[in-house]
Structure 1
Amino acid sequence: MSFRIIADSCCDRTKETEAMNNITFIPLTLSISEYSISDDENFNQDDFISRVDEAGIIPKTACPAPDAFKKAMECDEDDIYVITITDKLSGTYNSALQGKMLYEEEGEKKNIHIFNSLATSGLESLIAEKIYKLASSGKSFDEVVSETEDFIVNHTALYFCLESLDVLNSNGRLYAMAASILKKIKLKLICERTTEGSVKLAGQEFNSNRALIKMANIIAADMKDKDASDKKIILSHVCCEDKAKLVAQKLENVGFKEIEIVKASGLNSVYAAKGGLIVSYTK
Structure 2
Amino acid sequence: MSFRIVADSCCDRTQQMKDWTNITFVPLTLSIDDHTILDDESFDQEDFIRRTRESKNVGKSACPAPDAFAAAMDCDEDDIYVITITDKLSGTYNSALQGKMLYEEEHSGKNIHVFNSLATSGLESLVAEKITELGNSGADFNTIVETVEDYILNHTALFFNLESFDALNKNGRLYAMAATILKKLKLKLVCERTQEGSVKLSAQEFNSARAITKLASIVINEVKDNIQEQRVIISHVCCEEKANAVAQKLKDAGFGSVEVIRASGLNSLYAADGGLIISLTK
Q: Please state which band the TM-score falls in when normalised by the shorter chain.
A: over 0.9
Partner of 2:65: 65
C-alpha separation in 2, matches of 1:82 and 1:94: 12
Letter in structure 2 aligned against 1:279: I
Q: Is 1:137 paired with 2:137?
A: yes
Structure 2 gap segments, 5+ residues each: none
1:226 aligns with 2:238: no
Deviation at 1:168, TM superposition (A): 1.6
CA distance in structure 2 between the aligned counterparts of 1:172 and 1:282, rounded to whole angstroms = 29
Which one-letter code corresponds to 1:95 in the other structure?
A: S
Structure 1 alignment gaps of length 5 or more: none
**1:50-69, CA deviations, whole angstroms, 9 ceiling, x for partnerless residues?**
11111232101000000011
Give the alignment of 1:75-94 within 5 angstroms: 75-94=75-94
Match of 1:43 in 2: 43
Q: Which residue of 1 aligns with 2:105?
A: 105
Query: For 2:72 and 2:192, how far apart are their aligned partners in 1?
Result: 31
Give 1:16 shift: 1.5
Q: CA deviation at 1:177?
A: 1.9
Q: Residue 258 of structure 1: CA displacement? A: 0.9
Counterpart position of 1:237: 236
1:92 Cα deviation after fit: 0.4
> What CA distance in whole angstroms lies between the structure 2 residues aligned with 1:247 and 1:18?
24
- 2:256 match: 257
- Matched with 2:266 is 267
Moved more, 236-245 or 247-256: 247-256
Task: State the alpha-carbon separation in 1 of the partners of residues 30 and 226 from structure 2.
Answer: 39
CA shift for structure 1 position 3: 0.4
2:228 partner SS: coil
Q: Which amino acid in the other structure matches residue 181 of structure 1? A: I
SS of 1:12 mapped into structure 2: coil
Tell me, yes or no, if the aligned pair for 2:60 and 2:171 is still in contact at 8 Å.
no
Are the aligned partners of 2:220 and 2:253 in contact in 1 as well (CA < 8 Å)? yes
Q: CA deviation at 1:12?
A: 0.2
Instruction: Tell me the distance in 1 between the aligned counterparts of 2:215 and 2:155.
Output: 18
1:256 Cα shift? Answer: 1.6
Alignment of 1:127-206 (within 5 A): 127-206=127-206
Q: TM-score, normalised by structure 2?
A: 0.98
* 1:71-110 deviation per Cα after TM superposition (whole angstroms, max 9, x unaligned): 1111000000000000001000000000000011114221
Aligned counterparts of 1:190 and 1:92: Cα–Cα separation in 2: 25
Letter in 1 for 2:265: G
How far apart are the structure 1 equivalents of 2:160 and 2:81?
26
Tell me how far 1:21 sits from its aligned partner. Answer: 0.9
| 2:227 alignment partner, SS class | coil
Over the matched positions of the two proteins, sequence identity in percent amounts to: 66
Matched letter for residue 276 of structure 2: L
CA distance in 1 between partners of 2:102 and 2:73 (Å): 10
1:208 aligns with 208
Q: Distance in 2 between matches of 1:226 and 1:58?
A: 42
Q: CA shift at 1:257, angstroms?
A: 1.6
Q: CA deviation at 1:230?
A: 2.2
Q: CA RMSD in A?
A: 0.9
Q: Which runs of 4+ in 1 moved over 4 A?
A: none
State the alpha-carbon separation in 2 of the partners of residues 13 and 98 from structure 1. 25
Q: Secondary structure at the match of 1:5?
A: strand
Q: Which moved more, 1:147-156 or 1:249-258?
A: 249-258
The residue aligned with 1:4 is 4
Secondary structure at 2:225 match in 1: coil
One-letter amino acid of the structure 2 residue matched with residue 227 of structure 1? N
Distance 1:159 1:213 in 2: 13
Q: Which residue of 2 aligns with 1:122?
A: 122
**Correspondence 1:246 to 2:224:** no
More deviation in 100-109 or 157-166?
100-109
Residue 32 of structure 2: aligned partner: 32
Contact residue 192 and residue 200 of structure 2 kept, 8 A = yes
SS in structure 1 at match of 2:37: strand
